[in-house]
Amino acid sequence: MISRLSGSIVDLSGNTLTLDVQSVGYEVFCSRACLEGVTLGDELTILVHTDVKEDHIKLYGFKDKTEKEVFLLLTAVKGVGAKSASDIVSKMDRFDLLRAIGSGDVTRLQSVKGVGKKTAERIIVELKDRVVDYVHAVQPLYRQVEVGSSDLAQDDALAALEALGFSRKDAQAALSQLAQGTDLSNLDPGEIVREALRFV
């Protein structure tokens, strides 16, 4: 499977670009963020998902690892294929998507053109817990050695929010807001992250 490509842009059309990689042209369907600021002739490195079906092989390009992971989470939802998932991450920032899913914000997801109420509800039902699972999967790669708090669950939640790509300042602010109205002492790190996503 192709997971990353580096080359020069030889064609741009809508949300699709063709990347010349050592004289081989790869057509890639890209997210909006992936295409921001690029022009013909630019050298570009993008993360790629290879979507293999009986009748086609398509490449989808992403700005960074978080965007690709959110895309992959969406494709795990029944009825959301690769094209729909790509459209969603193009119309809604990856962090906004994680916030909406983690906090169960159906209305926010419905604001994305093409996402109806049933689809939004299905995304949240099927992915709310998986967002936290994803955090736990990537957290060890980013965890800070010194987190500055004696509460281990909150320390883990802070590191997990940073692993999702949020700044330490924003993550700390979200945890502070959450703590004002919620007793965090009985929550595990995953539960804290899920609740804190409402505030970042």
Domain boundaries, the chain: 4-62, 65-129, 139-195
Q: In angstroms, how far is CA 38 from the centroid of its own chain? A: 21
Asked whether residue 102 carries a pLDDT value surpassing 60, the answer given is: yes
- Average pLDDT (6-14) is 94
- pLDDT (tens digit per residue) in 141-195: 444 434 444 367 788 788 777 767 678 888 888 888 888 888 888 787 777 887 8
> What pLDDT does residue 194 have?
77
| Averaged pLDDT for residues 31-58 | 92
> Can you tell me the distance from the alpha carbon of 26 to that of 45, in angstroms, rounded to the nearest whole number?
12
What average pLDDT score do residues 43-68 get?
A: 91
Per-residue pLDDT, 134: 63
Q: How many CB atoms lie within 10 A of CB 24?
A: 9
51: enclosing H helix or E strand: strand 43-52
Helix (H, G, I), strand (E, B) or coil at 8: strand
CB-based contact 77:127 (threshold 8 Å): yes
> How far apart, in whole angstroms, are the C-alpha atoms of residue 94 and residue 67?
5
Joined together, the tokens standing for residue 21 give: 């990689």
In whole angstroms, give the CA distance from residue 178 to residue 199. 7
Beta bridge partners of 7: 44
pTM over 0.85: no
* CATH superfamily placement of domain 4-62: Nucleic acid-binding proteins (2.40.50.140)
Q: Which residues pair with 11 in a beta bridge?
A: 18
If one counts every other C-beta atom within 10 angstroms of the C-beta of residue 112, the result is 19
Can you tell me the mean pLDDT for 123-128?
A: 86
Joined together, the tokens standing for residue 92 give 């809604």
Which among 131, 135, 96 has a CA at the least distance from the CA of 115?
96
Closest Cα to residue 115, out of 88, 79, 95, 97? 88
- Domain 65-129, CATH 1.10.150.20 — does that match? yes
pLDDT at residue number 10: 96
- CA pair distance 44, 34, nearest whole angstrom: 10
Specify the pairing of strand 57-62 against strand 24-30. Answer: parallel
- How confident is the prediction for the chain on average, in pLDDT? 84
